[in-house]
Copies of this chain bind each other. A is one copy, B any other.
């Protein structure tokens, strides 16, 4: 079992990673709550909801299940969950538990942040990808015009990470999670990056997975502690995300996984970084690692001008200019403003490269 602590502007919380710790969930609830609303999706519910209800025996528990998938991160499900909270008489002394992946975590977190102007919540992530979203307090729902456009910065009371639950993930979800881990390595830790580039993501044993999650979370936690509201270094965590969000928005959420889109985004960022700063980044090693691990490498025939328009909707964009996270070197990120022309040229050459290989 591994534990680390995150200090926020309002409180500090612990992140615990271990095998089977969902059964000890009660140990991580340090206050008496009037009710506990457990928000999960139908897929996760069938696997782990009973375990959680059993682990919370003696508490007043209200389970609420949403359909799995990005479509649930909508204003409709947000409002439905608020209704369920009210109908079941949750009050300011109630707790929300987010049991699931990033969709459940973001949505349940935003419900907690805004129900009666904010109540406590605990993240119980069940995917590798959610190691990223469950830490740092970014909660949100999607708007039809952009991902995560409506939300808050609202840190949880605890993150309880049972790696047993991620063993049941399908292959594309494992790829999705490892893309965010490799992102963290790229912006902070060269030896972690080397290790990740040496593995095959589908056959990582549990003890090594715990180690990888711990390293990724440590990087993330350290950054969000220093910049909770994303006014400076937290932006570096968006490496690969400007293009990723644009691709996801265009293809419709759920057509490729978030992490797979991020992987394409990172590769693009490496190419732009090399053009701009001429560093020696492991573009080719990363490209072959992505290929070997089955990541989809394509811009899916999306029109480039349209992609640029979508990239401008990104939350980092200011005064209508796209801001991209680039690397001057491994573990040396920087935010750079790109003109439409530069971006168009870069995307065209990136597209050619993907098509050629």
Q: Given A92-B315, A116-B315, check contact A86 B143 (CB 8 Å).
A: yes
How far, in Å, is A250 (CB) from chain B's closest CB? 16
* A120-155 interface bits toward B, Cβ cutoff 8 Å, 1 = contact, 0 = none: 000000000000000000101001111011111100
How far, in Å, is A59 (CB) from chain B's closest CB? 13
Are B319 and A149 neighbours in the complex by a CB distance under 8 Å?
A: no
- Count how many chain A residues have C-beta atoms less than 8 Å from C-beta atoms of the other chain: 41
* A78-119 interface bits toward B, Cβ cutoff 8 Å, 1 = contact, 0 = none: 010011001101011100000000000000000001111110
How far, in Å, is A166 (CB) from chain B's closest CB? 27
| Interchain CB contact (< 8 A) of A82 among B83, B143, B152, B318 | B143
How far, in Å, is A154 (CB) from chain B's closest CB? 9
Chain B residues with CB under 8 A of A115: 149-150
Identical chains in the assembly: 2
Name the residue of chain B whose CB is nearest to the CB of A9. Answer: B9
Q: Given A116-B315, A117-B315, A152-B114, check contact A145 B87 (CB 8 Å).
A: yes
Q: Given A114-B150, A149-B82, check contact A34 B319 (CB 8 Å).
A: yes
A288 within 8 A of B: no
A317 within 8 A of B: yes
Are B315 and A151 neighbours in the complex by a CB distance under 8 Å?
A: no
Chain B residues with CB under 8 A of A89: 312-313, 320
Are B140 and A117 neighbours in the complex by a CB distance under 8 Å?
A: yes
A197 within 8 A of B: no
A75 within 8 A of B: yes
* A311-347 interface bits toward B, Cβ cutoff 8 Å, 1 = contact, 0 = none: 0110111111000000000000000000000000000
Chain B residues with CB under 8 A of A92: 315-316, 318
Are A93 and B319 neighbours in the complex by a CB distance under 8 Å?
A: yes
Most B C-beta atoms less than 10 A away, residue of A82, A89, A313, A315: A82
- Tell me, in angstroms, the Cα distance from A229 to B154 when the chains sit together: 14
Are B91 and A149 neighbours in the complex by a CB distance under 8 Å?
A: no
Chain B residues with CB under 8 A of A93: 318-319
Chain B residues with CB under 8 A of A312: 89
Name the residue of chain B whose CB is nearest to the CB of A137. Answer: B117
- Tell me, in angstroms, the Cα distance from A312 to B87 when the chains sit together: 12
Are B79 and A75 neighbours in the complex by a CB distance under 8 Å?
A: yes
How far, in Å, is A88 (CB) from chain B's closest CB? 11
- Tell me, in angstroms, the Cα distance from A245 to B144 when the chains sit together: 34
Which A-B residue pairs are the 3 nearest by beta carbons?
A86-B145, A116-B315, A117-B151
Q: Other CB < 8 Å A-B pairs besides A79-B143, A91-B315, A113-B152, 14 of them?
A: A34-B318, A34-B319, A83-B143, A83-B145, A86-B145, A89-B320, A91-B319, A116-B149, A117-B138, A117-B140, A117-B152, A117-B230, A118-B153, A118-B229
